[in-house]
Chain A
Amino acid sequence: MAHRIEVVTNVNDTRSEVMRKNLVSEGFKIEAAKVLEVYTVNKNFNSDEIKKIAEILSNSISQKYKIDEPFNDIDFDFALEIGFLPGVTDNIGTTAKESIEEFTKQNFIDEESVHTSTLMLLKGKITAEDTKKIGEILANKLIQRIHVKDKKTFDKDNGMDLIVPQVHLSSEIEISKIDLNISEEELLKIGKEGILNHDGTRRGPLTLEKDYLYAIKKYFEKEGRSPTDIELETLAQTWSEHCKHTIFAAEIDEIKDGLYKGYIKKATIDIRNKKGKDDFCVSVFSDNSGAIIFDENYLITDKAETHNSPSALDPFGGAITGIVGVNRDTIGFGKGAKPVLNKYGFCVGLPDDEEPIYRDKDLKEASLTPKRIFEGVISGVNAGGNQSGIPTPQGFTYFHKDYKGKPLIFVGTVGLIPKMINGKPSHEKSAHKGDKIVMIGGKVGQDGIHGATFSSETLSAGSPATAVQIGDPITQKKFSDAIIKEARAMGLYNSITDDGAGGLSSSVAEMAKECGGCEVELDKVPLKYPNLEPWKIWISESQERMTLSIPEEKLEQFMALMKRRGVEATVIGTFTDSGRCIIKYKSEKIMDIEMDFLHNGLPKKTLKTTYTKIDREEKEIPEPKDLTKKLLQLLKNPNIASTEFIPRQYDHSVQGGAVLGPLHGKGRVMSPASVTKPMIETKKGAVCSQGLYPKYSEIDTYDMAACSIDTAIRNSIAIGGKLSHMALMDNFCWCSSDESERLGQLKAAAKACYDYALIYETPYISGKDSMFNDFKGFDKNGKAIKISAPPTLLISSLSVMDDITKAVSLDTKFAGDLVYILGETKNELAGSEYFPEGKNVPKVNAISAKKLYEKVEQAILKNMIASSLSPSHGGLATTFAKKTIAGQLGMEIDLNKVPREKDLNRNDFILFSESQSRFVVTINPKNKGKFEKLFKDEIFACVGQVLDSQKFTIKGVNGEIIIDTDMETLEESYKSTFKNY
Chain B
Amino acid sequence: MTSDNKDLGLTGSRRDNLQATSLPKPSLESSVKPKVIVITGYGINCEEETAKAFELSGGLPKIVHINDLIENPKMLDDYQIMAFPGGFSYGDDTGSGNALANKIKNNIEKEILEFAQKDKLIIGICNGFQILTNLGLVPAKEKKYGQRQAVLMHNAHARYECRWIKLKNTSQKCIWTRNIDTLNCPIAHGEGNFYAEKEVIDSLIKNDQIAFKYVKDDNSPADLQFPFNPNGAMLDIAGICDESGRILGLMPHPERFNSFTNEEGWTLTKEKLLREGKALPTFGKGLQVFKNAIEYFTK
Query: Hey, which bits of chain A sit against chain B, CB under 8 A?
Result: 9, 11-12, 14-15, 17-18, 56-62, 91-92, 94-96, 98-99, 102-103, 382, 386-389, 472-474, 477-478, 481, 564-566, 647-660, 664-666, 677, 680-681, 804-805, 807-809, 811, 813-814, 863, 866-867, 924, 926
State in angstroms the CA–CA spacing of A95 and B256 once bound together.
Answer: 29
User: Which among A648, A657, A680, A867 has the greatest number of chain B C-beta atoms within 10 A?
Assistant: A680
- Which of B44-52, B204-212, B235-243 lies at the interface with chain A? B44-52
**Of residues A9, A94, A647, A648, which shows the largest number of chain B Cβ atoms within 10 Å of its Cβ?**
A648
Task: Pick the residue among B49, B148, B161 that contacts A680 (CB under 8 A).
Answer: B49
Complex CA gap A11/B201 in Å reads 15
Closest residue on chain B to residue A96 by CB atoms:
B94
Excluding A15-B158, A91-B91, A481-B40, 15 further A-B contacts by CB distance (< 8 Å) are: A12-B232, A91-B93, A386-B188, A389-B87, A474-B90, A477-B45, A648-B161, A650-B160, A651-B160, A654-B253, A656-B52, A656-B256, A809-B267, A811-B268, A814-B275
State whether B267 touches A660 (Cβ < 8 A).
yes
Q: Contacting chain A: which of B18-26, B99-107, B114-122?
A: B99-107
Q: A59-B148, A61-B197, A808-B267 are in contact. Are A9 and B153 (CB under 8 A)?
A: yes
Q: Report how far A234 CA is from B193 CA in the complex, Å.
A: 51
Q: Point out residues on B near A: beta carbons under 8 Å.
A: 40-43, 45-46, 48-49, 52-53, 56, 65, 67-68, 71, 86-88, 90-95, 98-99, 102-103, 106-107, 134, 148-151, 153-163, 186, 188, 190, 193, 195-197, 232, 253, 255-256, 258-262, 265, 267-268, 270-272, 274-275, 280
Asked if B193 and A12 make an inter-chain contact with CB atoms under 8 angstroms apart, the answer reads yes
A387 adjacent to B106 (CB under 8 Å): no
Contact residues in A for B153 (Cβ distance below 8 Å): 9, 11-12, 14, 62
In Å, the complex CA distance between A59 and B136 comes to 12
- Measured in the bound complex, the distance between the Cα atoms of B49 and A681 in whole Å is 10
State whether B102 touches A388 (Cβ < 8 A): no
A14 touches B155 (CB 8 A): yes
Residues of chain B with a CB closer than 8 A to A474's CB = 42-43, 88, 90-91
- Tell me the nearest residue of chain A to B49, going by C-beta: A656
CA distance in complex: A194, B242 (Å): 65
| Residue from B134, B161, B162, B197 whose CB has the most chain A CB atoms within 10 Å | B162
Distance, CA A648 to CA B230, complexed state (A): 11
CB distance from B288 to the nearest CB of A (A): 15
CB-based contact A99/B102 at 8 Å: yes
Q: Do A566 and B162 touch (CB < 8 A)?
A: no
- The residue of chain A having its C-beta at the shortest distance from the C-beta of B66 within the complex is A566
Cβ A14 vs Cβ B158 within 8 A:
yes
User: A91, A103, A472, A653: which contacts B162 (Cβ < 8 A)?
Assistant: A653
Is A478's CB under 8 angstroms from B42's CB? yes
Q: Which residues of B contact A99 (CB under 8 A)?
A: 94, 99, 102-103
A103 and B106 contact, Cβ closer than 8 Å, known pairs A389-B87, A565-B65: yes
- Asked whether, in the complex, the Cβ of A61 is within 8 Å of the Cβ of B42, the reply is no
Q: What are 29 sample pairs from A and B whose C-beta atoms fall under 8 A apart?
A: A12-B193, A14-B153, A14-B232, A17-B158, A60-B148, A95-B91, A99-B102, A102-B103, A389-B88, A472-B91, A473-B43, A474-B90, A565-B67, A566-B41, A649-B161, A650-B160, A650-B162, A651-B188, A652-B162, A653-B186, A653-B188, A654-B256, A656-B49, A656-B258, A657-B262, A658-B256, A658-B262, A680-B259, A809-B268
Closest chain-B Cβ to A861's Cβ sits at a distance in Å of 13
B193 adjacent to A14 (CB under 8 Å): yes
The chain A residue with its CB closest to the CB of B261 is: A659
Interchain nearest-CB distance for B263 vs A (Å) = 9
Complex alpha-carbon distance, A472 and B90, angstroms? 10
Determine which of B92, B157, B262, B271 lies in contact with A814 in the assembled complex, contact meaning CB atoms within 8 Å. Answer: B271
Contact A863 B274, CB 8 Å, known A12-B195, A99-B102, A677-B259: yes
CA distance A751 to B66 in the complex (A): 53
- Chain B residues with Cβ below 8 Å from A14 are 153-158, 193, 232
Does B188 lie within 8 Å of A61, measured CB to CB?
no
In the complex, the answer to whether A59 meets B98 with C-beta atoms within 8 Å is yes
Assuming the contacts A474-B88, A863-B274, asked whether A59 and B95 have C-beta atoms less than 8 A apart, the reply is yes
Cross-chain contact A564 with B161 (CB below 8 angstroms): no
Closest CB-CB distance, B108 to chain A, in whole Å?
Answer: 12
Q: Which residues of A contact B94 (CB under 8 A)?
A: 56-57, 92, 95-96, 99
Q: How far is the CB of A460 from the nearest CB of chain B, in Å?
A: 34
Residues of chain B with a CB closer than 8 A to A478's CB: 41-43
